[in-house]
Amino acid sequence: MSDPQRLQLLRSINEAADADALRSSRDHVNDRMASKRSELPIDQFYTELNEAYDAIIIRAISLAEAHMARVGMGSPPVPYAYLLFGSGGRGEQTLSSDQDSGLVYENEPNAEKAEANRNYFAQLSKQVVIVLERLGFPRCEGNVLSDNPSWSMCLSSWNKQLDDWFEQPSWEAVRYLLIVADGRSVHGTSSLLDRMKDHFFANMAKHPNIVGRMLENTMRHKVLVGIFGQLLKERYGEDTGSIDMKYGAYIPMVNAIRLLAIQQGIRSTSTLERMKALHAANVLSEEDAQSYGQAFQLFLQLRLMTTEKLERGMYANNGKLAVRSLTREMIEQLKKGLRIGKRLQRRIIKETSVRLK
Amino acid sequence: MVKKLMLSIVALLMLFPAMAFAADEGPSTGLLNMGLNSVWIIVAFVLVLLMQGGFILLETGSTRMKNAGHVAGKTIFTIGLCTLIYWAFGYGIFNGGADISEGLRKFIGWGDFFYSPVTSAGEGDSFPSTAFFLFQLAFATISLSIAWGGFAERAKLSVYLVFTIFFTALVYPVIAHWIWGGGWLAEDGAQDYAGSTVVHLTGALAAMAATILLKPRIGKYNKDGSANEILGHNQVFSALSVLLLWVGWFGFNAGSALSVGDGFFGFVAFNTMLGAGAGTVAAMLVSWAISGKADISTTLNGALAGLVAITASCAFVDPWAAVVIGLVAGVLVFFSTKLFEKLRIDDPIYALSVHGAAGVWGTLANGLFATDELATKVGVGQGGLFDTGSWHQFGVQLESVVVCGLYVLIVSFIILGVMKLVMGLRVTEEQEIVGLDLSEHGTYGYPEQMKKAQNNNIQA
């Protein structure tokens, strides 16, 4: 907090009068954070970056609300919470994360009013997504976005949808449940999300077999280290010699820790927080928590080094890291980290399948 | 139904003793032996010829849809042309019976051009020369089809025509003569039972000369030197091709015994099966361990590499050695494909690795694993390092690989180099992109699919 530049940047975000002003703040954030990549300890880097992005998203929502008022749609008719999923939900956004979002609003018994509410929030969400796109946050390819009606509804509809997903755990439904588990309220009445999560965890207790389905859902992302401890790199194409940091290191670990955490009813969404909570709950030993934490921080750090590019004004990244750009020492660290990640993945598979038998 | 069957069996049983009694006036043991041998050689010839079905499927399966008809059809065409050239000229260079000086005979055969065989086997012959000719011809066509791997997806059709003539007349039969036709390497005792060097290495090195002169296919390499994967259009074809080749290989190897005799060809077939199995298993496991994915192409290549490697040694080694030879071949083929890719040599059908690297290994393996007992039985060379403790046979094997390799590579480079100057080897960029089906033959191998793709492109 002692950094005056940072405070000034947060102030300029909060005061941005329109999307263009906000875009320039976002570009500032990216430039500033990119230059601080090697100075800051990694957890602090992510905290600062995600704090700034949260501020930008909150401001974008305010701008969208103002736009709604301006076009005669009024102000939010009932309390709502704007939700972030994916890396945003986990507070692990990189300089080029996309939008994964949703929205939940208070129930309304009167059908006519409920329809009006639905209409208002549909318009609002649409506006928010557009503004964020203008800020260089690309849409989620899987369409997990607040402007998709399946991800924006009143609390009771959300709960009904969760029930459906738990009762019919198709591959897609399980994927959605895992996405919801990482949900975080970035703006608005966060108790709405708390109630949604209460419902989620009540369902977890009712459907113990869902854990196995969740494991199957995430197992296809393997840690990219071979049986000789070698890195499994891309063999063809322009990324030949690169390692897929996102799906071959970071995501498998996120998945494994999430699965442990939701079985314990842990509500934190950040992976490092989840590890701490798992240690507190005696699921992870002191030693394990520490080695998993270190490996994960290394992955977070190396993710930042993956090829960044600006595509049509969007901050984009393919998650792949050119191994030849690493020092020998870093490669050794990476291999060690991946071996730890693989051990964790194996442990989860073993423990989960034992429990289900 | 059952009754009828029983009746005919009883009738047959009654007939046979009657025939045995009649043997006094019937064929001699020598004639029967000759007859059995010829049946086996002709069956083996048919099996080897059927291996071309394997090559058709292998080459089409490993390449793209737009070239499928061309790739498949040209194999049939070149078998036809190879037959005529081999009959007119190639066989004479391999095994011609004309009276030429001892010195010249060390390097080539002469005579028997436009081969006109006697209609049946002579007194004391163990098989008719017609059967022998057909069997040898089938080997020549196999070597040629291996070479085509290096031409795939970008050579002009006319190149196939011209190269078939020169390869069948000047390249293949010379090597065959050196090792099998009583040439100078045969005199040194070079062991190559069914042709790891003669057939496979020869084909592979011609392919290498071609692929180097033709340069990689469009889109295979990026500007920074990294390779792209150009996937074949049908992995099922590729797998079926391996099965066809595997089956045909029993004609290839066991047929090379050229006799039924005491059943030694069964032992050769036995070793062949072990080598192939070992190659398959080793290749899949090594690709799984090293790249993290059990690669199907590598597995298929492993089966073929095992077969190629055991081809030279199937009659000279004990079964345990056949397994070792196959295992090494399977591992070798995986690293070899990676190496050629790194060297920026585009090898669409993996001919250089499967037939080249494994061919070299199989030939050299005799120098390590051959046993004196089997070498004496076959009557070529002596035991290898592990049986005799002597490096002699290994030296002979190394010599044959190096000398044959150099000859094929140099002569192929000259033939193709001249062709490149005179007629050009490669289709135009536009023709390559459109595909050879259309550019060389005017019609697609898969008309419906390709037209659909074309229409989509126009709309997009």
The pLDDT confidence band at residue B460, using thresholds 50, 70 and 90, is very low
In a domain, B423, yes or no: yes
pLDDT computed for residue A308 by the predictor:
73
Question: Is pLDDT at B236 greater than 80 in this prediction?
Answer: yes
Give residue-wise pLDDT tens across range B134-165.
999 999 999 999 999 999 999 999 999 999 99
Residues of A in contact with B291 (CB under 8 A): 226, 232, 235
φ, ψ at B119 (rounded to 5°): -75, -25
How many other CB atoms are there within 10 angstroms of residue A30's CB atom? 19
Q: Which of A307, A316, A157 is nearest to A241 (CA)?
A: A307
Distance CA B411, CA B334 (A): 28
Mean pLDDT of A294-316: 87
Ranking A85-99, B22-36, B235-249 by mean pLDDT, the lowest is B22-36
Q: What would the mean pLDDT of A315-321 be, rounded to a whole number?
A: 86
- What mean pLDDT is predicted for residues B82-94? 97
Q: Helix (H, G, I), strand (E, B), or coil: what is residue B167?
A: helix
Least confident of A319-323, B57-61, B239-243: A319-323
Closest alpha carbon within chain B to A234: B291
Complex-level ipTM? 0.80
Question: Does an H or E element contain B444, and which?
Answer: none
On whether the CB atoms of residues B167 and B414 are closer than 8 A, the answer is no
User: How would you class B93 by CB atoms within 10 Å of its CB: exposed for 0-12, middle for 13-18, buried for 19 or more?
Assistant: buried
- Domain interval for residue B57: 33-95+128-459
A8-41: pLDDT as tens digits: 999 999 999 999 999 999 999 999 999 888 889 9
**What confidence score (pLDDT) does residue B438 get?**
92
B289 chain-A contacts, CB cut-off 8 A: 226-228
In angstroms, what separates the C-alpha of B295 from chain A's closest C-alpha?
12
Residue B60 lies in a domain: yes
Overall number of domains in chain B: 1
Interface membership of B229 toward A (CB under 8 Å): yes
pLDDT per residue as tens digits for the range A97-107: 899 999 999 99
The pLDDT of residue A314: 84
- Within 8 A of B230 by CB-CB distance, chain A residues are none
Is residue B115 in a domain?
Answer: no
CA gap B239, B182 in Å, rounded: 37
Q: Model confidence at A263, in pLDDT bands (50, 70, 90)?
A: very high
In a domain, B387, yes or no: yes
Q: Is the pLDDT of residue B97 over 90?
A: no
Amino acid identity of residue B303, one-letter, is A
Where b means 16+ CB within 10 Å and e means fewer, B319-332 reads eebbbbbbbbbbbb
pLDDT at A309 over 80: no
Whether A240 has its CB under 8 Å from any CB of chain B: the answer is: yes
* Residue B423 phi, psi (nearest 5): -120, -15
Q: Which of A227, A232, A236 sits opposite B229 (nearest CB)?
A: A236
CATH of the domain at B226: 1.10.3430.10
Whether the per-residue pLDDT at B23 is higher than 60: the answer is: no
What is residue B15's predicted lDDT score, i.e. its pLDDT? 57
More confident residue, A325 or B271: B271
Helix axes B264-291, B235-254, angle to 10 degrees: 150
A235 in reach of chain B (CB within 8 A): yes
User: CA angle, A94 as apex, A278 and A294 as ends, to 5°?
Assistant: 40
The strand pair at A101-105 and A152-154 is best described as parallel
Whether pLDDT at B7 is above 70: no
Query: What is the distance in angstroms between the Cα of B290 and the nearest Cα belonging to chain A?
Result: 6
For residue range A124-142, what is the model confidence (pLDDT) as tens digits?
A: 999 999 999 999 999 998 9
The beta-carbon neighbor of A236 closest among B224, B228, B290 is B228
Q: Is the pLDDT of residue B211 over 90?
A: yes
Domains belonging to chain A, first-starting first, are 1-207 (3.30.460.10), 208-357 (1.20.120)
Asked if residue B172 is part of any domain, the answer here is: yes
Which residues are bridge partners to A110 per DSSP?
none
> CA A148 to CA A126: how far, in whole Å?
9
Whether B357 is in a domain gets the answer: yes
Q: Do A224 and B292 touch (CB under 8 A)?
A: yes
| Mean pLDDT confidence for A219-223 | 90
Answer for the pair B346, B216: CB distance below 8 angstroms, yes or no. Answer: yes
Is B168 within a domain?
A: yes
Q: What is the pLDDT of residue B225?
A: 85
User: Mean pLDDT score of chain A, rounded to an integer?
Assistant: 93
Model pLDDT for residues B408-425, shown as the tens digit of each residue:
999 999 999 999 999 999
Condensed to tens digits (0 to 9), the pLDDT of residues A51-75 reads: 999 999 999 999 999 999 999 999 9
Check residues A254 and A357 and name the one with the higher pLDDT.
A254
pLDDT for A1 equals 47
Query: What integer best gives the mean pLDDT of chain B?
Result: 93
Average pLDDT over residues B5-30: 64
